Amino acid sequence: MAKLETKIGGLTLKNPVLTASGTFGYGTEFSEFIDLSRLGGYIIKGTTLNPREGNPYPRMAETPSGMLNCVGLQNKGVHYLKDHIYPNIKDIDSCLIVNLSGSTVEDYAEAAEIIGTMDKVQAIELNISCPNVKQGGMAFGTTTQGVEQVVSAVRKAYNKTLIVKLSPNVTSITDMALAAEAAGADSVSLINTLMGMAIDAERRKPLLSMVTGGLSGPCVKPVALRCVWQVAKAVKIPVVGLGGIMNATDAIEFFLAGATAIEIGTANFIDPETTVKVVDGINEYLDRHNFKSITEIIGQLEV
């Protein structure tokens, strides 16, 4: 049994398997299928300062080996999270991380401060890359100045672990990662969804209410691996990898490319037990290759 413990900044995870925001609700939706305490951590869905109703239906379209969504950050706001959700999940023996989104720097900072008052929340994953909301952070995530601005503001308001989630919808994701690092991020996670669209040819209409949406699932994995590989070489802070991970082998590929931890997203919709199966599979891989710890394979791609 290899050691699965991994570190993101000051945060120690019992294993490197996290859930991707927006694919795992508040965790409790999955508690009938898996033991949540077996997760390295779970990232609860995108939370904003004020409640958001999100975008109109239809919000989802299946595409080859993946899906598009334009949910648009539907959530009940950070105060609801603190008062009504947090009390029910704070004692789950896993690392609780809140994904934070916003439309202004001030909103981000104010919500971050409130998240900081929830003792058992150990980190923020800062979403500066949602492709489905006009001011859903995407504007911040596509320029280095924007990244620095919002990351610096949240850094001042929040002193626990800060992970910045990056968009692949940029010319150079490495530049964005370096900007996040310079502004005080403890880690970067990548990739958020790739912007795409789908069309119903018979009806000559888009399949999504917002026309465009974020693409996820195994179809994005090669892009995600490439991004993790490039960013991990460029930054000194740990990289959290995600994008189309369906099983332990996919996860191992991300570690080899340089990820310190991984997130499982869309796979939760296909098999709600994916996360724990990946934990077991990573263990099996490490044992089979005689590695004593997950840290031994991080960035160990032989090129």
Partner 1 sequence: MKKQLNLKVENLKKITEQHILLSLVAPNGDMPEIKAGQFVEVKVDNAPTVFLRRPISVHFVDYAKQRLDLLVALVGDGTRKMATLSVGDEVSVLLPLGNGFPMPTKAGAKCLLVGGGVGIAPLLYLGDRLKAAGHQVSFLLGARNAGGVMLEDEFKKFGSLYLTTEDGSVGEKGFVTNHSILEKEQFDEIFVCGPTPMMKAVAKYAYAKNIECYVSLENKMACGLGACLCCVTEDNKGHNRCVCSEGPVFNINELPWQN
Question: At 161, which helix (H) or strand (E)?
Answer: strand 161-165
- Out of 9, 58, 116, 184, the only residue in the binding site for partner 1 (CB under 8 A) is 58
Known catalytic residue at 130: yes
For partner 1, give the closer residue by CB, 9 or 54: 54
CA gap 23, 273 in Å, rounded: 13
- Does 60 participate in binding partner 1 (rule CB under 8 A)? yes
- The closest alpha carbon to 13, from 292, 285, 279, belongs to 279
- Give the contacts of 162 (CB within 8 A, at least 6 positions apart): 9, 123, 124, 126, 151, 154, 155, 184, 185, 186, 187
Question: Binding string to partner 1 for residues 270 to 289, with x set by CB under 8 A, is what?
Answer: xxxx----------------
CA gap 47, 302 in Å, rounded: 39
283 forms beta bridges with none
Place of tokens 């009504």: 84
For partner 1, give the closer residue by CB, 211 or 270: 270
Catalytic residue among 70, 95, 130, 219: 130
Candidates 1-9, 29-37, 147-155, 168-176 — which segment interacts with partner 1 by CB under 8 A?
A: 29-37
Candidates 10-18, 28-36, 122-130, 138-146 — which segment interacts with partner 1 by CB under 8 A?
A: 28-36
User: CB–CB of 43/265 below 8 Å?
Assistant: no
206 forms beta bridges with 199
For partner 1, give the closer residue by CB, 68 or 111: 68
83 DSSP assignment: I
- Does 63 participate in binding partner 1 (rule CB under 8 A)? yes
What minimum distance in Å lies between the beta carbon of 78 and partner 1?
17
The residues annotated as belonging to the active site are 130
By the criterion CB under 8 A, which residues form the site for partner 1? 22-25, 29-30, 32-33, 45, 53-54, 56-67, 69, 71, 74, 217-218, 266, 268-273
